[in-house]
Amino acid sequence: MIKRLSILIIALAAVAIPARAEDSGFSFLRVPVKALPASLGEATVAMGGDASCILYNPGALPYCNIKKISAGYVNYIAGIQIGNITYVHPLKEKSAAGLSLSYLNSGDIKQTTLLDPTGAGLGDFNYSSFVLQASYGRELLKDLYAGASLKGIYDKTLEYSAAGGAVDLGCIYQLDPAMVAQKIFMAKGKRNYGTSLKLGLSVNNIGMVAKAFVATKEKMPLTVRAGMEYRPFSDQLVILLAGNKAIDNSFKMNFGTELNFIKHLSLRLGYNGNLGDIQNGSDLDDFAGLGAGFGIKYKKYSIDYAYTPFPGLGHPMRLDLSLEI
């Protein structure tokens, strides 16, 4: 089992070998569009069971054992509006499929030029982006799950447009915490080492730009994520840890925790290392990268909310409504 897992991990990680430190395009693919992962610092590469998992690791899809549709809205910075609708559908033999559509609209922006910096009489323009994704995941071996996503991306502003396609690959390996404690840390005796431990790995945005805005085709924002999910007391406490490396950014760490001690209510807190660098010298810089939120579930209905402040730029809020079908 370990040998087979190692082969799969090496195969996924090898996709990132050509990555170089250079700018990439299609920035919308970097923006967290769902409330749950945003409130957990996007440290959810090893977390399954929620419809948002297909945006980070399609290998987590088999953990979605109930048909669910989720619609979300993001009040982003600078008047930018973002929306998403996701559907997951469990299949036979520990497998599942999913669809996701995300959009971004900048709202009206005044046109300016070097010759006319005030933009008088030039009118307004806006920028829009759409991402359509289809995903599938299944159990490959005992406790080893893998999946893939196919994405189409389309950007447009004024008379210019760009389009591209990308693939996500991911896997999750579920471990017995007691076995890990005994085999790796040489722990002895009958003790509670937790109820669940998962390791996750994904390579996101493997692809190409089919059509550029003008002439230069930018790189896709290729990103490699690896992390873990640990549940020491059943589902009452979830601890998340993840590292990620984007093609044009340095290695970053993300953290998240979810508390489920109150019936129907989940409290969430996270830190996103990618957002921790966004600082402007204000008193709010200490909060850069932090996220918080909650989830409320009653019968087949659930609401998820996330707040992720940008010091000096705004206070993005995310709201998702989900229904189990």
Question: What letter represents residue 179's amino acid?
Answer: M
Predicted confidence at residue 251, as pLDDT, reads: 94
∠ CA 220-222-225, rounded to 5°:
155
Predicted confidence at residue 231, as pLDDT, reads: 94
Predicted confidence at residue 12, as pLDDT, reads: 45
Predicted confidence at residue 18, as pLDDT, reads: 40
| Helix (DSSP H) and strand (DSSP E) numbers for the chain | 3, 16
Confidence of residue 215 (pLDDT cuts 50, 70, 90): low
Per-residue pLDDT, averaged over 161-169, amounts to 93
* SS3 readout for 174-199: EECHHHHHHHCCCCCCCCCCCCEEEE
DSSP state of 220: P
Counting other chains too, the contacts that 260-265 makes at CB distance below 8 Å and 24 or more residues apart are 260/235, 260/236, 261/236, 261/237, 264/296, 264/297, 264/298, 265/294, 265/295, 265/296
Q: For residue 46, what are the contacts with CB-CB under 8 A and spacing of at least 6?
A: 57, 60, 172, 198, 199, 200, 227, 228, 229, 240, 242
Predicted confidence at residue 190, as pLDDT, reads: 66
Q: Is the dihedral of CA 11, 12, 14, 15 positive or negative?
A: positive
Predicted confidence at residue 42, as pLDDT, reads: 97
Residue 17 has pLDDT above 60, yes or no: no
Per-residue pLDDT, averaged over 193-220, amounts to 84
Of residues 190 and 108, more confidence is placed in 108
What is the per-residue pLDDT across 242-294, written as a single tens digit (0 to 9) for each? 999 998 889 999 999 999 999 999 999 999 998 888 777 777 778 889 999 99
CATH of the domain at 283: 2.40.160.60
Domain assignment of residue 238, given as a range: 2-324
What is the per-residue pLDDT across 173-184, written as a single tens digit (0 to 9) for each? 999 887 776 776
CA distance 316 to 324: 27
Query: Per the structure, how many domains does the chain have?
Result: 1
Confidence of residue 24 (pLDDT cuts 50, 70, 90): low
